[in-house]
Copies of this chain bind each other. A is one copy, B any other.
Amino acid sequence: MDDSSKDTTGTDATGPDVEVRTLADLARVAGVSAGTVSRALAGKSLVNAETRERIQALARQYGFRPNQMASKLRSRRTGVIGVVIPLGHEKRQTISDPFFLTLLGHLADQLTEAGYDLMLSRALPDGTTDWLERITGSGMVDGVLLIGQSDQSEIIDKVAAHYRPLVAWGNHREGQKHIVVGTDNELGGRLAAEHLISCGARNLAFFGDTAGIEIAMRLRGARAAAEAAGVPLTHVPIKLADAEMGPQIEAAFAATSANYDGIVTASDLIAMSALHILHERGRRIPGDIQIVGFDDLPLARLTSPPLTTVRQEIAQGARVMVDKIRALIEGETRHSKVMPPTLIARETTRS
């Protein structure tokens, strides 16, 4: 119960300064076998409670921790989930998308909670299944979470056919074989456009690069809403979805035909950038032009004026992804989940 002194553990003749690096070392110090130490440290029930306590105390005293590589190799379970960000269609091959980073943060929280470690890989898809199989086939992870599908849906399907514990964030399509958690992007695009139209917009633009399937679906939804209302919609592909997209947006507004009065954007980041440039050009928002973002990142409420946007449930999505991967690892069966987006009306639209 009490800590007693540091030296005499009253068990063995070995001095206090032996190096305890392995189970066998600790076993020697404790005067038991390696097997018993292993069981004691794992908290198994079949060890005498008393010796278990004693061994755990010894482990603490010597600062001993079992080597995980050995443990994982032997037990054939790693306790690690691979989280992969496919940088397929991205021009600059770097992890900077704040939406993905936010999702990653939530995944890290949920996985930690669930007792898993997280191994992060940035992948540059190369037309083959290799970028993914390098991870699924490495024996390093119990399952894989994909942050986004990029333009690799078919390839992911191919891998999922023989590797079960795989869940992707992204867009779900009929007939798709891998499990996806994500937002109904088409609906999201539609909500955005419909909202703009109902707020009086009559000349729409969609800002965003459709190489990724998710954005393409958002555009499709927006286009459907525009057509239904008989309103024109121009697609402006914005490459480089980071803070340096300014010039492209400038160009879009400078075009002679560009008398947009309503803009659907593919992300809050693009919306912020557009907002910024319109302010510079002295356009009133939402008076002259209305804007709708996408994602509802925490930052969306901090812009001026606060950003009307289509909310994706990121935290819930992370929870669902982790639930599913755990179930799949246990051998259970799971299906895709499509979550409905919500339009959050703030002040970049006229209510």
- Using a CB–CB distance below 8 Å, which chain A residues touch chain B? 63, 65-70, 72-73, 78, 80, 83, 85, 93-96, 98, 101-102, 104-106, 108-109, 112, 117-122, 133-134, 137-140, 242-243, 272-273, 275-276, 279, 298-299, 301-304, 306
B109 touches A94 (CB 8 A): yes
A276 touches B304 (CB 8 A): yes
Nearest residue, chain B, Cβ from A80:
B119
Nearest residue, chain B, Cβ from A95:
B105
B299 touches A243 (CB 8 A): yes
A17 nearest CB across to chain B (Å):
14
How many angstroms between the C-alpha atoms of A176 and B141 in the bound complex?
Answer: 36
Residues of B within 8 A of A69 (CB): 69, 72-73, 78, 139-140
Nearest residue, chain B, Cβ from A83:
B120
A278 nearest CB across to chain B (Å):
10
Copies of this chain present in the complex amount to: 2
How many angstroms between the C-alpha atoms of A68 and B78 in the bound complex?
Answer: 11
Residues of B within 8 A of A139 (CB): 65-70
B108 touches A243 (CB 8 A): no
Among A104, A122, A302, the one with the most B-chain Cβ atoms within 10 Å of its Cβ is A302
Residues of B within 8 A of A120 (CB): 83, 108, 117-120
11 A-B pairs with CB atoms under 8 Å apart are: A63-B137, A66-B139, A70-B139, A80-B119, A94-B109, A96-B105, A98-B98, A98-B299, A275-B302, A276-B301, A303-B304
Residues of B within 8 A of A78 (CB): 69
A137 touches B96 (CB 8 A): no
A76 nearest CB across to chain B (Å):
9
A138 nearest CB across to chain B (Å):
5
Contact with A137, one of B65, B102, B118, B299 (Cβ below 8 angstroms): B65
Among A65, A108, A120, the one with the most B-chain Cβ atoms within 10 Å of its Cβ is A120
Residues of B within 8 A of A104 (CB): 101, 104
A41 nearest CB across to chain B (Å):
13
A340 nearest CB across to chain B (Å):
23
A139 nearest CB across to chain B (Å):
4
How many angstroms between the C-alpha atoms of A1 and B131 in the bound complex?
Answer: 23
B80 touches A108 (CB 8 A): no
Nearest residue, chain B, Cβ from A105:
B95
How many angstroms between the C-alpha atoms of A69 and B73 in the bound complex?
Answer: 5
How many angstroms between the C-alpha atoms of A306 and B279 in the bound complex?
Answer: 10
Given known contacts A73-B73, A304-B276, A119 and B122 CB-to-CB distance under 8 angstroms: no
